[in-house]
Chain A
Amino acid sequence: MIYELLNMNGYGLYVWSAFSFTLLSFTILYLVIKAQYIREKNKFLTKYGTLNAQKAKIARTQIINQEILSNSQSI
């Protein structure tokens, strides 16, 4: 049963390599995009940390900034 599934009448190498390439591409794309997201978020948090109280208060008035700062937000 497992041998049949892997071999697929001699086409297994083609079928499995096509599916593997697809899933590998998806994984790489997901990790790259996630890394970009974490980098930008960390950059935002670092910049926000350097603001004085008045500027930080202004920044917090924006909905997006509030969302980025909230701990609940994650991918």
Chain B
Amino acid sequence: MFKFFEPNKIFLITSKAPKYVMLLFILVLSIGLLEALVLSPEDYKQSHSVRIMYVHVPAAWIALGIFSSITFLSLSGFIFKNKNFFLIAKSLAPSGLVFNIVALVTGSIWGKPTWGTWWAWDARITSMLILAMFYFLYIIAWRIYEEKEQVFKITTLITIFGIINIPIIKYSVDWWNTLHQPASINILSKSSIHSSMLLPLMIMTAAFALFSLLIFLMKYNTELIKLKNKGLDRL
């Protein structure tokens, strides 16, 4: 079942894919930037500051998605005794952390003209900051315990504690009175965002997803070469 996840087979694809993903990312990002900065309308209340949404929201979505994937992969690694799942999870973390930081910083920039403050300790912002700390802990744990067998246990434990925070981030705007507005986009019900704003948001999300794929592929290749370096030492 997991023959596809053998590094030898994956490397044949991952070593060639980055250049094509890079080209596609540049293309989609260019269209997304044109839509987000020029073609999309301004908001009747927030005016042009609403354009920050096109980088803030996709970055937050992808940061949440990547952390959930890391947890799923770490747990799968334990259940199926497959170390390659851990390697894939580890390779996803750097882009997840950067997207989390982008979401926090762009949110802070958006907060100034909208709420009149750069930072507020409201539930959504604070829980996103906690997620960034979990990302940081996860990456640091790999650095500290890389050569030791317990790295798999420690990093999985970090993701298990961190995943508790994901529904808190998602529902914080419903559970508490926060400065953040409730979700404008719902998968199961009708979204309250106009299609002229939804289109650039989706294009920018696609561009960000492609970037995280690009970084993942490059990082995963690096990790595999690192393993092969150790293999040469043992010859």
- Residues on A lying within 8 angstroms of B by beta carbon are 5, 8-9, 11-12, 14-15, 17-19, 21-22, 25-26, 29-30, 32-34, 36-37, 40-41, 43-44, 47-48, 51, 55, 58-59, 62-65, 67-68, 73-75
Q: Determine which of B9, B48, B228 lies in contact with A12 in the assembled complex, contact meaning CB atoms within 8 Å.
A: B48
With a cutoff of 8 Å between Cβ atoms, the chain B residues found around residue A8 in the complex are 42, 47-49, 51
Chain A: which residue is nearest B42 at the CB level?
A9
Shortest B230–chain A CB gap in Å is 10
A67 pairs with B12, CB closer than 8 A: yes
Shortest A42–chain B CB gap in Å is 10
B235 pairs with A59, CB closer than 8 A: yes
Q: A5-B37, A25-B102 are in contact. Are A18 and B110 (CB under 8 A)?
A: yes
* Chain B contact patch, size range: 35 or more
A11 pairs with B94, CB closer than 8 A: no
Shortest A8–chain B CB gap in Å is 4
With a cutoff of 8 Å between Cβ atoms, the chain A residues found around residue B117 in the complex are none
Listed by A's residue number, 17 A-B pairs whose Cβ atoms lie within 8 Å are A5-B37, A9-B47, A12-B48, A18-B105, A26-B98, A29-B94, A29-B95, A29-B98, A30-B215, A37-B222, A40-B229, A67-B12, A68-B225, A68-B228, A75-B18, A75-B19, A75-B218
Bound-state Cα–Cα, A9 to B214, Å: 36
Closest 3 CB pairs of A and B: A8-B48, A11-B49, A11-B48
Q: A33-B94, A37-B222, A41-B225 are in contact. Are A64 and B109 (CB under 8 A)?
A: no
B235 pairs with A33, CB closer than 8 A: no
Shortest A29–chain B CB gap in Å is 5
Specify the main secondary structure of chain A where it touches its partner.
helix
Give the tally of cross-chain contacts (CB within 8 A).
Answer: 122
With a cutoff of 8 Å between Cβ atoms, the chain A residues found around residue B231 in the complex are 59, 62, 65
A33 pairs with B229, CB closer than 8 A: no
B106 adjacent to chain A (CB < 8 Å): yes
The interface bits of chain B over 16-41 (1 if a CB of A lies within 8 angstroms of the residue's CB, else 0) are 10110000000000000100111000
A26 pairs with B211, CB closer than 8 A: yes
B98 pairs with A14, CB closer than 8 A: no
Q: Determine which of B16, B48, B228 lies in contact with A65 in the assembled complex, contact meaning CB atoms within 8 Å.
A: B228
B119 adjacent to chain A (CB < 8 Å): no
With a cutoff of 8 Å between Cβ atoms, the chain A residues found around residue B36 in the complex are 19
Q: Determine which of B94, B112, B222 lies in contact with A40 in the assembled complex, contact meaning CB atoms within 8 Å.
A: B222
Shortest B150–chain A CB gap in Å is 24
Listed stretches B52-60, B123-131, B175-183; interface member: B52-60
With a cutoff of 8 Å between Cβ atoms, the chain A residues found around residue B37 in the complex are 5, 15, 19
Bound-state Cα–Cα, A43 to B226, Å: 9
With a cutoff of 8 Å between Cβ atoms, the chain B residues found around residue A5 in the complex are 37-38
Q: Determine which of A9, A21, A36 lies in contact with B222 in the assembled complex, contact meaning CB atoms within 8 Å.
A: A36
